[in-house]
Amino acid sequence: MSHTILIIEDEKELASIVAAYLKIEGFQVEIANDGKSGLEAFHRFNPSVVLLDIMLPLLDGIEVCKEIRAVSDASIIIISAKNGEMDKVIALGIGADDYVTKPFSPIEVVARVKAQIRRYEKMLHQEKEENPSTLVSGELMLTKSSYTATAKGETLNLTTKEFDMLYYLASSPNQVFSKEQIYEAVWGYNECGDDNSVTVYVNRIREKLDHYGLNYIKTVWGAGYKFFPQ
């Protein structure tokens, strides 16, 4: 499985050095030198891991991290000159998966990238074994074992979190779930964040389903959401 690594770092020489080490290991690497272009690159390349500096021009790393985490579960490793414990707490609290401080060895960064990818692939493998079933509802088919989805026979591109949420709702059609119930089922109580992430993900899933004319996720005002295939 090929993985793309996105480096968002304004120190161009440092970014190039880290990129060179990652390429030696067979990774596809993309570089952005400010927060704004970093977000654009993220949406364009859909990387498995993001190496993200905190002090960035145009848009700082904390805001970039928040925006990425609102729409994706890609691994985020913060790279920063700050070494305070509170900085680490803040970074991890807003969704980062790991934190390294400058100066660092590029070899260490490569090792941390590999660790994040191993963790992700292990989690995906376990979920495939535990949930082998295929769910068909309306003109939607979700296969948990391979994390694949089709709408009207065409591939529906979903992130793993989007898939998990849609599968959870579709498993109990016409049942109303609160945002808290969905957040617990998809993210778990131990994950950082809040149930407003549910609204963001519901909107993203709706946009993708609407492309096929499938208005399957209904809002029940004051209660939550339900899956209702037409």
Whether the pLDDT of residue 193 is over 80: the answer is no
Whether 6 contacts 42, CB under 8 Å: yes
Cβ atoms of residues 129 and 90 within 8 Å:
no
Least confident of 7-11, 90-94, 129-133, 159-163: 129-133
Q: Which two tokens stand for residue 90?
A: 């803040």
| Weakest mean pLDDT among 52-66, 101-115, 191-205 | 191-205
pLDDT above 90 as % of the chain:
43
In the sheet where 4-8 sits, what is the strand order? 28-32, 4-8, 49-53, 75-80, 98-101
Residues forming a β-bridge with 75? 49
Q: What is the pLDDT of residues 12-55, one digit of tens each?
A: 999 999 999 999 999 999 999 999 999 999 989 889 899 999 88
Decide if 22 contacts 2 (C-beta within 8 A): no
Helices (H), 72-159: 85-93, 106-130
pLDDT of residue 118: 84
CA distance linking residue 181 with residue 187, whole number of Å: 10
pLDDT at 192 over 90: no
